[in-house]
Amino acid sequence: MTWRDLAEHQIQKARAEGQLDDLKGQGKPLRPRPGGDIVSVGMGIMADAGVVPREIQLKKALEAKQAEVKAEADPAAKKAIMREMADLQMRLAIEQEARRKFYRTS
């Protein structure tokens, strides 16, 4: 089964369960997105729905930890924050690799 078939199956299932009824903007064309590729469109739709992808959440968390480590004076606390940063970096790399593999196979 191809990715297209899987996606189509999920759309039909959602339609049958009524999950696609009364959506905001129903029947109207999608507004143009910068970039013009499918990823930009998908990210825009998610943003309109208030959904933040894990990759973006991890990037924001990593930025917050980077600010924390800069502000921290205690070496032991700084080391603990850096461990948390390493974990976030690893999880971010996993998410990015999963996204790249997904788009290579679709």
Residue 88 has pLDDT above 90, yes or no: yes
pTM check: above 0.75: no
Please report the pLDDT score of residue 69 as a whole number.
Answer: 95
The answer, yes or no, to whether residue 65 has pLDDT greater than 90, is yes
Where in the sequence is the domain holding 49, given as residue range(s)? 3-105
Q: Return d(Cα 28, Cα 25) in angstroms, integer.
A: 6
Q: Are 95 and 58 in contact (CB under 8 A)?
A: yes
Residue 95 predicted with pLDDT over 60: yes
Using the predicted structure, report yes or no on whether residue 53 has a pLDDT greater than 90.
no
Closest by Cα among 62, 68, 54 to 86: 62
What's the domain count of the chain? 1
At 24, is the pLDDT very low, low, confident or very high (cuts 50, 70, 90)?
confident
**From CA 105, how far away is CA 91, in angstroms rounded?**
21
Tokens 């974990």 identify what position?
Answer: 87
